[in-house]
Amino acid sequence: MAGQLKEVRNRISSVQSSQQITKAMKMVSAAKLRRAQDAIIQMRPYAKKLQEVLSNIVSNTEGDVSIKLAEQRNIEKVLIIVITSDRGLCGAYNSNLVKLAKASILEKYHEQYKKGNVAIWNIGKKGYESLTKSGYKTSDTYKDIFLNLTFENVQAAAKAAMTAFENKEFDAIDIVYSEFKNAATQNFHCEQFLPIPKVEKKAGATKADFIFEPSKDKLIAELMPKILNTQLYKAVLDANASEHGARMTAMDKASDNANELLKILKVSYNRARQAAITTELSEIVSGAAALEG
């Protein structure tokens, strides 16, 4: 009896210390989330407008200028940039991203995959580990961006991707990442990075006759890389905020679960204690009765 009592007491204290850890992690994630969220929310209108300007130019200059980065080629070699987190303990966040990456390879690029022409660049350690284990052609060049999240680092990755596309090392580049919606919700996306997707022209809309200054070519040459840098940077910021949001939610749930567990354990602890007391009492009573008798 006493043995069981001690056992339950040990369980309770171990659950309590786990709960302390999950609570602390939740607080840390909440603080980090606030920072990540600010960065992404402030950055979003800028990125969106840049994208619009680009789309306007591309659809207004069709046939006039050849834009290397918008060139539609026969897709033979594919690159997928998968943005995951460096650390676990954030619920199904990483496994959802990996699942999406695998699904899009299977659906969109099945032919290319069979020929071994699908490459993956990983940003974030977790996705790298999991996809490498599954036997995909992964590269870890930009794996550690989250260790030092600056615009320059992301820019380097974007630049490398653009150069590779221009040199025809890849014919299509996709990004798999999760868009931050709120702390509890992430939207997982597989987005085309290159070639730049053309915007559908609105029905009935006349082609706006843009004045370009300086020349179209020069302008586009300057605009393109900036836009793509921003696009990738936005994806990375989104992913960062999503990660902290996912971790916060996961840790919140873990703390709740620990509470539930503690409740159950406390009931069984009290029951064991009660049983021990009852036994002891009856021993004393029967002992006394034996003496009297």
Partner 1 sequence: MTLEILTPEKKIYSGEVLGIRLPGIEGLFEVFDKHAPLVSALTKGKMKIIVDRNTSEHFNIQGGFVEVLDNKTTVLVEGATVVD
Which residue ranges make up the site for partner 1 (CB under 8 A)?
Answer: 42-43, 45-47, 49-50, 52-53, 56-57, 151, 208-214, 218-219, 222-223, 230, 233
Give the nearer residue to partner 1 in terms of CB position, either 45 or 63: 45
Three-state DSSP state, 137 = strand
The three-point CA angle 138-141-145 to 5° equals 115
Give the nearer residue to partner 1 in terms of CB position, either 50 or 131: 50
Name the one residue in this structure whose structure tokens are 């910021």.
237
Nearest distance, CB of residue 43 and partner 1, angstroms: 5
Nearest distance, CB of residue 62 and partner 1, angstroms: 15
Buried (b) or exposed (e) across 27-45, using 16+ Cβ within 10 A?
eebbebbeebbebbeebee
90 noted as active-site residue: yes
115: phi then psi, degrees, rounded to nearest 5: -85, 0
Sheet holding 137-139, edge to edge: 137-139, 118-123, 78-83, 172-182, 185-194
Q: Name residues whose C-beta falls within 8 Å of residue 197's C-beta, 6 or more positions apart in sequence.
A: none
Within 10 angstroms of residue 146's Cβ, the number of other Cβ atoms is 20
Give the largest Cα separation in the chain, rounded: 116
Tokens of 45: 């209108």
Give the nearer residue to partner 1 in terms of CB position, either 99 or 216: 216
Nearest distance, CB of residue 209 and partner 1, angstroms: 6
Nearest distance, CB of residue 236 and partner 1, angstroms: 13
Which of 79, 90, 105, 157 is catalytic? The answer is 90
Nearest distance, CB of residue 272 and partner 1, angstroms: 60
Nearest distance, CB of residue 52 and partner 1, angstroms: 8
Give the nearer residue to partner 1 in terms of CB position, either 230 or 249: 230
Q: Report in angstroms the alpha-carbon separations of 284 from 21, 204, 279.
A: 44, 97, 9
- 196: nearest Cα among 26, 96, 50: 50
Give the nearer residue to partner 1 in terms of CB position, either 49 or 168: 49
**What type of residue is 177?**
Y
Catalytic machinery residues: 90
